[in-house]
Chains A and B, each alone.
Chain A
Amino acid sequence: AQRVTQPEKLLSVFKGAPVELKCNYSYSGSPELFWYVQYSRQRLQLLLRHISRESIKGFTADLNKGETSFHLKKPFAQEEDSAMYYCALSSGGGNKLTFGTGTQLKVEL
């Protein structure tokens, strides 16, 4: 069975500091990984997915199959980055998503 682990429930950083939100997964096949974000009073929305290898709002995430990780990084945190971040894994046919427990990012001034 697949599993997604986000070890930090809350991560607090100062504005301008680097951010790294950790995500580890377990899955026997070839996974597809995503980061979703939920800003205050907004719906859950896709931030980025590993197959796109893109940078969104300054965030990047690299899939490391050796370490089974998909950590989310940003070199300089902004106040508007404060939100709940979920790592998710899509496995097999049917496109089912397995979510981690989420990390609340708080960017302080």
Chain B
Amino acid sequence: SAVISQKPSRDICQRGTSLTIQCQVDSQVTMMFWYRQQPGQSLTLIATANQGSEATYESGFVIDKFPISRPNLTFSTLTVSNMSPEDSSIYLCSVDRAGGGNTQYFGPGTRLTVL
């Protein structure tokens, strides 16, 4: 398995501001994923982040709203831009370890509340 940490673990933000969430992995991984879990809902994939290339966004998610960085093989950030109360969710990163057979390992999540 992989050890994954996220910062911050939670935050309360004002409407119109932006928050950057960090995801750190204890070893090099090829693929990192960002998910959103809205209250009472399941996990929805936002984007896939590979090192050295632009992130690939899922339908309904755009780079202007959720810019992602992947500067190296152990780190990624997700920014939630120009926030509104509808962005209140848990944001999770996950990684796909080489040889893991498509198994993903998840970080602890960042609980975001937008007022």
Taking beta carbons and an 8 Å cutoff, which residues of A are in contact with B? Answer: 32, 34, 36, 43-46, 49, 51-52, 86, 90, 94-102
Contacts and interface: CB of A to CB of B under 8 A. Distances in A.
Interface stretch (B11-19, B67-75, B77-85, B102-110): B102-110
Given A32-B101, A46-B105, A97-B104, 12 more contacts: A32-B102, A43-B107, A43-B108, A46-B104, A49-B101, A52-B101, A95-B31, A95-B102, A95-B104, A96-B48, A98-B45, A99-B42
Contacts of A49: 101-103
Interface of B: 31, 33, 41-45, 48, 56, 58, 92, 94, 96, 101-109
Nearest to A38: B106
A100 B96 CA distance: 19
A101 B45 CA distance: 13
B7 to A, nearest CB: 14
- Chain B interface, DSSP helix/strand/loop, else mixed: strand
B108 to A, nearest CB: 5
B103 A34 contact: yes
Contacts of A97: 33, 43, 45, 94, 104
A29 to B, nearest CB: 13
Nearest to B104: A97
- Chain A interface, DSSP helix/strand/loop, else mixed: strand
B103 A94 contact: no
B46 to A, nearest CB: 11
Contacts of B48: 94, 96
A43 B45 CA distance: 17
Given A86-B42, A86-B43, A101-B41, A45 B101 contact: no
Contacts of B43: 44, 86, 97, 99
What 10 pairs across the A-B complex have the smallest Cβ distances?
A: A44-B106, A99-B43, A101-B42, A90-B102, A99-B42, A43-B108, A95-B102, A95-B96, A43-B106, A32-B102
Contacts of B108: 43
Nearest to B101: A51
A81 to B, nearest CB: 20
B25 to A, nearest CB: 14
